[in-house]
Amino acid sequence: MTDSILAFLRANGEQLDVDMAASLDIPIAELRDEVARLASSGDLICCRVTRFIDGRKIEGTSCRLSCDPPTPARGRKPGVKKADDNSETNNY
C-alpha cells in the first residue's frame, strides 16, 4: 500500500486523504494509518485543511511528498544583479 500511495502522489501532486482513498480504492481508516506512518518517517508532509467547495465545508488532511518542492516563481530573483560591462576598462 505504501508504494501505491507514494506513486499516486508522485503522479498527481498534493491531494486530500479522502480523494486518495477514493482513487486508490482503499478504506479511509487504513489510508489514514498508512499516511500517519509515512509522515512520521518523513516521506510525506501532511496538514489539516478546511476547504469550501460550492458552499460545502470539506475537512481533511492534505498530503504531498516531502521531496516535492514547490515550483520556483518565474521572473527575476531578488538580489540578482546584471554583470557590469565597464568593470574591465582599458586605461591606455
At 53-85, the pLDDT tens digits run 899 998 899 999 987 566 677 877 777 666 655
pTM of the model: 0.65
Flag whether 87 is in a domain.
Answer: no
Residue 85 has a pLDDT of 56
As a whole number, mean pLDDT of residues 2-8 equals 90
Average pLDDT, the chain: 84
Residue 84 has a pLDDT of 58
Domain tally, the chain: 1
Q: What is the pLDDT of residues 38-48, one digit of tens each?
A: 999 999 999 99
CATH for 23 = 1.10.10.10
Report d(CA 35, CA 31) in Å as an integer.
6
Contact 9, 3 (CB under 8 A): no
> What is the domain range of residue 54?
2-65
Q: Evaluate the CA torsion angle 68, 69, 73, 76 in order and state its sign.
A: negative
Report d(CA 72, CA 24) in Å as an integer.
30
Report d(CA 51, CA 57) in Å as an integer.
6
